[in-house]
Structure 1
Amino acid sequence: MVGGRVVPKRAERLIALTRQFDFRYTVHRVVSSNLTDPAVYRYQIDAAKALLEFALGSMRALIQHSGLFADQVLDGPGLEEREREAVFELAEFCKPYDVRITFENLFAMDPGQCQQSLAEVAQMAKAVSHLNLVALIDFSHAYSESTHRGLNFREQLRAMAPVAGHLHVHDSFGRPQGLHRTYLPQEDAALGIGDLHMPLGWGDIEWNDVFSELAFLPGTVLVMEIGPAIATSSPIAWPGQKTSSA
């Protein structure tokens, strides 16, 4: 994609590849997507619509990051209204195609930022109230932002669960990204800092307890987001579960 337009020949090659497999795909928008920023607001919506148009047929969910609500550069009135209008426009665009916008919570990248909490994302989803919009819980993002803002992680999960139709699952220690300057991903892992995308059981999220008390929307999709650098280094295990390797 360039400038909010799909490059046809490249799109055709990708579609031909994906159609070789009987999968149901979810499509993740650009990581920097932010519907609260007026400077790129229209660009973001145009790029999302273009992505939807070329991925229709195999795609069931389009993942959209929530926007910044407080930042050293971006802050001010009208952010919530702008984001809700944009999300509603995208949900309406998805309506004829049976695709859902899934709205994902993020985490602060440095001490000067403040991302939306799970409860705030849930409030946005309820306010828009569209059948083609669901909330997306990224558990480790929520853990990190809860620590950063002094919120109760488990209470935040309970607030989001009733409107959640998509889950990103990976482990961490809930230590905010900007806690300490590091130079390599291996250092982040060694110190347990940041968005580590580790197998379940490597961090300290109490997964059994979490899933025993939460209920999500019908048709909820769960994606295990394990980082490629460590995905093949050890079998994935739930806390307390023994694993073996050949």
Structure 2
Amino acid sequence: MKHGAFAVGISARNRAGDLSDLGDELDKIEALGVDLIELPTFDYDLVIGGRIRAPQLATLQNACAGRSVAYSVHGPLAINLMDEPARAPRHLEVLEASLDVAQAVGALHYVLHSGLTHETEPAKLGDAYARQRELLTRAAELARERNLIICVETLFEYDGWKHASSPKRLAEEIAIVDHPHIMATIDFSHSYIKLDADGRRESFVEEIAALAPVARHLHVHDSFGRQDDLWVYTQGERLAYGNGDLHLPVGWGDIPWTQLLEECVFPEGVVFNIELDPRYWHAARECVDFTRGLASRAQTKGYGGRSKVA
């Protein structure tokens, strides 16, 4: 087991829809001294009707070229592999195009949200999980062809969805798929909120530890794990109550980072990628430094015979 086999990254922001300011954005991020930049390609207008928009992709590639950092890509949030069967072809079409975008910029990891469903009846819920496993297996081969690792991200229920996987359940699903190009993204805040909603906050560290060995990619930001369940007038008021997925600088919330690092073992090359709300970008350097200090204490070890990308 090793300490320190990690990279620290941060997600870029999208300010101009035509990406005309992306080069400036990436310059500012590089100046923070990160190892990796995550590109929110879901918000870059790169895929239209399932097809890549070539001029926009060229703009993205030009902005990314010649830099000292690595890249990961966060694809469309709407891709839902637990959705109704009739929608599966559309989800796969957008996923494949998005993987092509990731390959075009030389990304290491492709972040895919884990499935959501309205089903709660056990048999139908089981069917939804089976669909996701089947589609993940197909997606894994698409990723293999492009030398990418798909990292499936932990979620919580929102916008009326009735079921999202807990970290431990996601670990079980990835184990069943058992493919070297399917790993996990732990979003610590998402998982904290999910377990709070399930009445199991006390199991947070245990659940994260169950998923950590296959989590090549981490989304690092802080929150209080509370439901966004009361009316507030402004985002500042939401912050005052500590409700919801706040995307705070690390250390501003109450996620037990020290305990997590003591009890979790991650794969070698794990990426600690910061997802910071633009409202708190003034604290980006502070957050990068804090996160690098945390990540330097991460316990890591090799994961079987799986492909080493990062």
Q: Percent identity?
A: 33
Q: Which has the higher helix share?
A: 2
Aligned partners of 1:140 and 1:55: how far apart in 2? 25
- Residue 167 of structure 1 is matched in structure 2 by 218
For residues 156-195 of structure 1, the aligned pairs below 5 Å read 156-177=207-228, 179-195=229-245
Query: Does the residue aligned with 2:189 lie in a helix, a strand or coil?
Result: helix
Question: What displacement does 1:112 show?
Answer: 6.4
Relative to the length of structure 2, the TM-score reads 0.71
- 2:110 aligns with one of 62, 67, 72: 62
For residues 68-217 of structure 1, the aligned pairs below 5 Å read 68-70=116-118, 76-77=124-125, 78-109=127-158, 113-151=162-200, 152-177=203-228, 179-217=229-267
> Does residue 1:52 correspond to 2:83, yes or no?
no
Which amino acid in structure 1 is aligned with residue 254 of structure 2?
A: D
Residues 69, 116 of structure 1: 8 Å contact kept: no
Higher RCO (C-alpha 8 Å, min separation 6): 2
Residues 83, 117 of structure 2: 8 Å contact kept: no
Residues 109, 176 of structure 1: 8 Å contact kept: no
Residues 205, 263 of structure 2: 8 Å contact kept: no
Seen in structure 2, the aligned counterparts of structure 1 residues 182 and 110 have a Cα distance that, compared at 3 Å, is farther
Query: Does the residue aligned with 2:124 lie in a helix, a strand or coil?
Result: coil
Where structure 2 has 5 or more consecutive residues not aligned to the other structure, the ranges are 1-46, 294-310
- Residue 53 of structure 2 is matched in structure 1 by 7
Question: What displacement does 1:161 show?
Answer: 1.1
Aligned partners of 2:280 and 2:57: how far apart in 1? 30
Aligned partners of 2:254 and 2:193: how far apart in 1? 12
Residues 222, 253 of structure 2: 8 Å contact kept: yes
Aligned partners of 1:176 and 1:41: how far apart in 2? 30
Which amino acid in structure 1 is aligned with residue 51 of structure 2?
A: R
Q: Which deviates more from structure 2 when the two are superposed, residues 161-170 or residues 181-190?
A: 181-190
Residues 171, 211 of structure 2: 8 Å contact kept: yes
Residues 70, 115 of structure 1: 8 Å contact kept: no
Aligned partners of 1:44 and 1:181: how far apart in 2? 34
Aligned partners of 1:232 and 1:71: how far apart in 2? 41
Seen in structure 2, the aligned counterparts of structure 1 residues 238 and 222 have a Cα distance that, compared at 3 Å, is closer
Seen in structure 2, the aligned counterparts of structure 1 residues 16 and 107 have a Cα distance that, compared at 3 Å, is same
Residues 74, 110 of structure 2: 8 Å contact kept: yes
- 1:24 aligns with one of 70, 90, 107: 70
Seen in structure 2, the aligned counterparts of structure 1 residues 54 and 205 have a Cα distance that, compared at 3 Å, is closer
- Residue 24 of structure 2 is matched in structure 1 by none
Seen in structure 2, the aligned counterparts of structure 1 residues 183 and 5 have a Cα distance that, compared at 3 Å, is farther
Aligned partners of 1:94 and 1:111: how far apart in 2? 31
Which amino acid in structure 1 is aligned with residue 147 of structure 2?
A: D
Residues 171, 201 of structure 1: 8 Å contact kept: yes
Give CA deviations for 1:194-243 in whole Å, capped at 9, x if unaligned. Answer: 0001011111112112112211112211101111111205733759x9xx
Aligned partners of 2:290 and 2:103: how far apart in 1? 35
Give CA deviations for 1:52-95 in whole Å, capped at 9, x if unaligned. Answer: 223315111111001114458xx935101111111111111111
Where structure 1 has 5 or more consecutive residues not aligned to the other structure, the ranges are 242-246
Give CA deviations for 1:149-183 in whole Å, capped at 9, x if unaligned. Answer: 02211111111112211111111100023x21334
Which amino acid in structure 2 is aligned with residue 19 of structure 1?
A: A
Q: Which deviates more from structure 2 when the two are superposed, residues 109-118 or residues 190-199?
A: 109-118
Which amino acid in structure 2 is aligned with residue 37 of structure 1?
A: D
